[in-house]
Structure 1
Amino acid sequence: MTTLAIMQPYFFPYLGYFQLIAAVDKFVLLDDVNYIQRGWINRNRLLMNGAPHLFTIPLRGASQNRLICDIALLEEPAWRDKLLRTLRQAYGRAPYYRVVAERLERVIGHPTLRLDDFLFNSLREIMGYLSLETELVRTSRVYDNASLVGQERILDICLKEHATRYINPIGGTALYQREAFLQQDIALHFLQSRPVNYSQGKKAPISGLSIVDVLMYNPLPVVRQFLIEKDLV
Structure 2
Amino acid sequence: MKLAIMQPYFLPYIGYYQLIGAVDLFIVYDNVKYVKKGWVNRNRMLVNGKDALFSLPLKKASDALDIRDRELAAEFDRPKLLNQWRGAYRTAPFFKQTFPLLEEIVGFQDPNLFRYLFNSLRMTCAHLGLKTAFKISSEVPIDHSLKFQDRVLALCEAEGTQKYINAIGGLELYDADAFRARGIEFRALRSRPFPYEQFGQPHVPYLSIVDLLMFNPVSKLSEIIAENYDLVEQDA
- TM-score band by shorter chain is over 0.9
Q: Structure 1 residue 76 and structure 2 residue 87: aligned?
A: no
Tell me the CA shift for residue 174 of structure 1. Answer: 1.8
The within-5 A match list for 1:1-233 is 2-77=1-76, 79-227=77-225, 228-233=227-232
Unaligned stretches of 5+ residues in structure 1: none
Tell me the CA shift for residue 61 of structure 1. Answer: 2.2
Matched residues, percent identical? 44
Question: What is the TM-score when the length of structure 2 is the normalising length?
Answer: 0.95
**In the alignment, is the contact (CA less than 8 A) between 1:35 and 1:63 conserved in 2?**
no
**Cα distance per residue 1:125-169 (max 9 Å; x no partner):** 110011101111111333343200011000000000001000011
**Cα distance per residue 1:178-214 (max 9 Å; x no partner):** 1111111110001111001110112111001001000
Question: What is the TM-score when the length of structure 1 is the normalising length?
Answer: 0.96
- Paired AA for residue 36 in structure 1: V
Q: RMSD over aligned Cα, in angstroms?
A: 1.0
- Aligned CA distance change for structure 1 residues 93 and 63 (closer, same or farther; 3 Å): farther
Alpha-carbon distance between aligned partners in 1 of 2:88 and 2:62, rounded to the nearest angstrom? 30
Q: Secondary structure at the match of 1:54?
A: strand
Aligned residues: 231
Q: Secondary structure at the match of 2:172?
A: coil
- Aligned CA distance change for structure 1 residues 225 and 187 (closer, same or farther; 3 Å): same
Q: Secondary structure at the match of 1:46?
A: strand
Tell me the CA shift for residue 63 of structure 1. Answer: 3.7
Alpha-carbon distance between aligned partners in 1 of 2:172 and 2:98, rounded to the nearest angstrom? 37
Alpha-carbon distance between aligned partners in 2 of 1:46 and 1:141, rounded to the nearest angstrom? 33
Which is worse superposed, 187-196 or 54-63?
A: 54-63
**In the alignment, is the contact (CA less than 8 A) between 2:140 and 2:158 conserved in 1?**
no
Alpha-carbon distance between aligned partners in 2 of 1:175 and 1:111, rounded to the nearest angstrom? 36
Alpha-carbon distance between aligned partners in 1 of 2:228 and 2:62, rounded to the nearest angstrom? 36
Q: Secondary structure at the match of 2:173?
A: coil
- Aligned CA distance change for structure 1 residues 75 and 140 (closer, same or farther; 3 Å): farther
Unaligned stretches of 5+ residues in structure 2: none
- Paired AA for residue 132 in structure 1: L
Alpha-carbon distance between aligned partners in 2 of 1:121 and 1:57, rounded to the nearest angstrom? 14
